[in-house]
Each structure stands twice: as C-alpha cells, then as structure tokens.
Amino acid sequence: MSRIKQHKLSEPDFERFRQLVKDASGIYFDHDKIEVLRAGLIERANQVGAGDLNEYYGLVSSRENSEELNRLLAHLSVQETQFFRNLPQFDAFRQFIIPEIARRKAGGERVMRFWCAGCSTGQEPYSVAMSVLDALPEPESWSIQILGTDLNEDALADAARGWYPARKLTGVDRLHLDRYFHAAGGGYTIDESVRKLVRFERLNLIDDPLPVSSFGVCDAVFCRNVIIYFTHETAKFVIEHFYDIMSSGAYLFLGHSETLWRMSSKYSLVEIGDAFIYRKPLPLSTGGRRFLPGRRLRSAGPSPGSPGERRSSRVDRRSQSGKRSDPRVKTGATRQKPLTDDGLSPREAAGNARVHLDRGEYELAIRCLEHGLAANAADPELYFVLGLVHEKMNEPAAAAEDFRRALYFEPDLGIARFHLASVFEQAGKMKNAVREYRNAKRSFKENPPGLLEAELEAFDADSLMNLCEWKIENLAGLES
C-alpha cells in the first residue's frame, strides 16, 4: 500500500477540502488550521490507500462513499471533554434549574429530557445524569431521558460502554466517584443508575433532522464548545433549530467562550448562580422566572441577533424528505466573489464585509474593508468590523489593535470597548479585561448606544451594563 508521507496542501486543495468539510458538518478550518486539516487528510488517505490527496478527494467526495466522508468528519472533529466541565454551569443546573423544572412540571407530565449535542465520549451526558440524580429527592418518580449525540461513532461506542481510565476522571470529586462509579479493569465503570438514563446516537447537526420524533422536546440543550468550530452563518442555523426542539422555558448551555451575539434574539440571557445561561422564554402566563430563587438571578435581556431573526420562526424548516433546509445555499460549493468594489462607500463596504464575515469568508471581508479604508481611513465602523473579522480568525493581537483604532476615532463606542475586553479575557489578560469592561459599562451608561446599533439590536443599555458588571465581578479576582 502506498503511503503519502509529505504533501503540501495547496491553496486550491485547501479550499476544496475545507468547503467539503464545512458543507458536510459545519466544521470550518481557518488558514491557521491548515496543518491540522492536512495531517487529518493524509492519515485518512493512507488508511484507504489513496496515492495522493487528489485521489483521496475524488474518493471522499463521491456520493457512493459517504462512509469515508463520515470517517473523515469523525477524525477531524475535536473530542476534548471531561466530567462536570465548566463547574459553575453544573452548579447552576443542579441547584437551580433542575428544581425549577421539577416545580414547573410537578402537576403535569413528570418527564425531563436533556440533549447533549457534540457529546464526544459521553462525560457530559453522564454528568447531566448525575446532576439530576443529585438534585431530585425522588428521581424514581420521574422519567429522566438524556440523549447524547456526536459525529464520531467510535467516540459514541466508548460513551455507551461507560468505562473510563482513571486519567479521564478529571472533574469527578470523591463523593461522585464513590456514589456513581465502580472500579473495573484498571479504570472505572459508570453505575447502572446513571447509564440507564442516557442513550447515544450519531447525529450531524447540519444534515440530520432534529430528534423531535424519536426523543421529544427538551428541557435543556447542552451544546458546549461546538459552534466555535462553525462559521457564523452555520452557527446561526444550528442555534435557530435548537429553538424548535426546546420546550418553553428550556435552557441552552454554551461553552465559556461562546455567545449568541449577532446570532439570535429569540433567547433570553439569564444569570444563574455564577453562570450565564440562555433560555427560551416562558409564556407570560407562567410568571417568567419566578421559580428561580436567589438574588444573583436576573435577566440580562434578550440576546442580540440580526433583524432577520426577529421574524416568527417557520413551523416546518424541513423538506419532504425529512432533511432540514440547507444553510449552504448562499455560499455554494465554490468560493464567493467579493461584494464590493472601489466605488462603494465605507458604510456599504462595511455592510458587505459583514456578509462575508457571516459566511466565514474572512479574506473577502478584509478585502471589502480595505476598499472602505482606502476611501476613509478614519471610519470607526470599518475598524470595528475588521476587529470582528480578526476575532473570528483567532488573531487577538490584530483584533485588539483594530478595536483600539475604532476607539481612537470614536471614544464613546462602547461596543468596541466590550469586544476589546473580550479579546483581553480570552488572552488571559484579566487586568486589562476588567479595565475595559469597566470602560464599556461607563460608556453604555453615559452614552446610550446609538452607533453601530446593528451590533446591539435586542440588547438595551441596561442589559449590556449588567453583562459588564457580571464580567467585572467574576474576573476581578483573576486579575494579573
């Protein structure tokens, strides 16, 4: 069998493989991940005996070879996970959310359903199950149903097995280890009381129908550290469809660095304990959040989204075949042409750049912005949008510089200060992050948002100040 040892991934090869993976799974590889993609392609090409990557592309893109495409997607998907990851979220889930759901449903159907999308090897859904058993006084009086889904069938097989080596028990304290695990085969097996609550299925968030008919509507959806690997456009598609499978008042858990900013205005953002969690609003007749106790719980208002998100949701987004509407129709299988030229105004250039940004076409977005800056090098919106592009490209230094330039030309641009603070936070520069969150809060208070309202939309000044305040409280102790 021939083996590909060295093969430089040319720009055309990179583009067509990247598009193939994105169309099939939503996973998007930026240019800084080209080596990750190349290594994964070479490994799979060698496994199937392809002579080069051109031959492998013909194989993996063939309609008759969907199994190999599934194997490639599984190989490229990130499988990093652990038990009780992001403990403040699980504390909020156990202490407030499960009791709230139980009180709300006590007089009706005693069923709780939770979906973990992108569950990898199962630590997350098992953590959900343990939390439910911890929180309910009489769990046997409830029907607890937990669904874990992922692209990777090997990971799902490991999850269903319910056995983990000791090194995989990060996050499990002694109490839970003694209560829900049994030593076996040099590792630990999940107790049957936990395993019987969870089932696992392969599901592609982009192509497969939502598991409504097979599972039902959910009281909470966990999709943590998944949409960060999607383009903005694809993430919006996924988040919108989560809404369809969530019951009124259900909760959406995202990863620490993930947000619905500019993605959806349908959810409310609530602070529960020491965590921020999104929620599908309850009907007004239920009294909103009255079930959730504690002075730290407050609504941060609806999350920002595009004007298009404000329209009523369509009842059926699926075709007659059962597949959902395709989020790729705007993008197509080939690279898009820039939507601007030298004759457009800076504002039009910024608008076109946003379209490219939502599609994940970062280089084209930058080209639009360069046209705009050539016409007006002092336009704060152009620098702000350029900062958003560099944020998505995982270039924090460039993003910080862009936001600083936007603030140089418009010092009262609170939304730019907010994004600058976020860049510092992600870079671990907590002192700078706290300073900029304070500046952003001050700016929102003194200058109610008027500029770049497309970035604010459903957020009002009070909600933004609350969010800044929460960030300041929780990061102040980490300043360095």
Question: 235-264: per-residue pLDDT in tens?
Answer: 888 998 899 899 999 999 998 778 887 778
Q: Sorting pLDDT into bands at 50, 70 and 90, what band is 400?
A: very high
Q: Which residues are paired to 184 by β-bridges? A: 187
In this structure, the chain runs to a length of 480
User: Which residues neighbour 259 within 8 Å (Cβ) at sequence distance 6 or greater?
Assistant: 303
Give the model's pLDDT for residue 477: 65
Taking Cα atoms as reference points, which of 417, 434, 416 lies closest to residue 425? 434
Report the C-alpha gap between 35 and 14 in whole angstroms: 10
| pLDDT surpassing 90 at residue 148 | yes
Give the model's pLDDT for residue 334: 38
- Which range in 4-13, 233-242, 332-341 is most confidently predicted, on average pLDDT? 233-242
Q: Which H/E stretch holds residue 446? A: helix 430-446
Q: Which H/E stretch holds residue 190? A: strand 187-190
Give the model's pLDDT for residue 319: 34
Give the model's pLDDT for residue 162: 95
Q: CA distances (Å), 36 to each of 29, 32, 33, 40, 226, in order? A: 9, 9, 5, 6, 17
| pLDDT surpassing 80 at residue 369 | yes
| pLDDT surpassing 50 at residue 218 | yes
Q: Which of 4-8, 251-255, 362-366 has the weakest average pLDDT?
A: 4-8
Residue at 385: amino acid letter: V
Q: Sorting pLDDT into bands at 50, 70 and 90, what band is 311?
A: very low
Give the model's pLDDT for residue 34: 83
Report the C-alpha gap between 314 and 244 in whole angstroms: 9
Report the C-alpha gap between 110 and 144 in whole angstroms: 9
Give the model's pLDDT for residue 462: 67
- The model's pLDDT over 80-127, given as tens digits with 9 standing for 90+, comes to 789 999 899 999 999 999 999 999 988 888 999 999 999 999 999 999
Instruction: Give φ, ψ of 301 to 5 degrees.
Output: 85, 175
- The model's pLDDT over 405-449, given as tens digits with 9 standing for 90+, comes to 999 888 888 888 989 998 888 888 888 889 999 998 888 888 765
| pLDDT surpassing 50 at residue 351 | yes
Report the C-alpha gap between 133 and 180 in whole angstroms: 10
Report the C-alpha gap between 421 and 407 in whole angstroms: 13
Pairing of strands 198-202, 187-190: unpaired
Report the C-alpha gap between 331 and 357 in whole angstroms: 12
Q: What is the mean pLDDT of the chain?
A: 80
- Which range in 192-196, 206-210, 343-347, 424-428 is most confidently predicted, on average pLDDT? 192-196
Give the model's pLDDT for residue 188: 96
Select the more confidently predicted residue: 450 or 201: 201
Give the model's pLDDT for residue 342: 54
Taking Cα atoms as reference points, which of 462, 379, 287 lies closest to residue 369? 379
Cα torsion for 365, 369, 370, 374, to the nearest 10°? Answer: 160
Report the C-alpha gap between 232 and 392 in whole angstroms: 9
Give the model's pLDDT for residue 325: 43
Give the model's pLDDT for residue 478: 62
| pLDDT surpassing 80 at residue 470 | no
Residues 421/413, Cβ–Cβ less than 8 Å: no
Instruction: Give, as one character, the DSSP assignment of residue 478.
Output: G
Query: Judging by beta carbons within 10 Å of its beta carbon (0-12, 13-18, 19+), is residue 76 exposed, middle or buried?
Result: buried
Written as six digits, the tokens of 4 are: 């590909």
Give the model's pLDDT for residue 178: 95
Q: What is the percent of the chain with per-residue pLDDT over 90, rounded to a whole number?
A: 32
Taking Cα atoms as reference points, which of 150, 142, 161 lies closest to residue 219? 142
- What is the pTM assigned to this prediction? 0.65
User: Which residues neighbour 253 within 8 Å (Cβ) at sequence distance 6 or greater?
Assistant: 89, 93, 220, 221, 222, 223, 224, 277, 278
Report the C-alpha gap between 454 and 235 in whole angstroms: 18
The backbone region for 267, taken as left when phi is positive above 0, alpha when psi lies in -120 to 50, beta otherwise, is beta
Give the model's pLDDT for residue 330: 36
3-state SS, 281-306, equals CCCHHHCCCCCCCCCCCEEEEECCCC
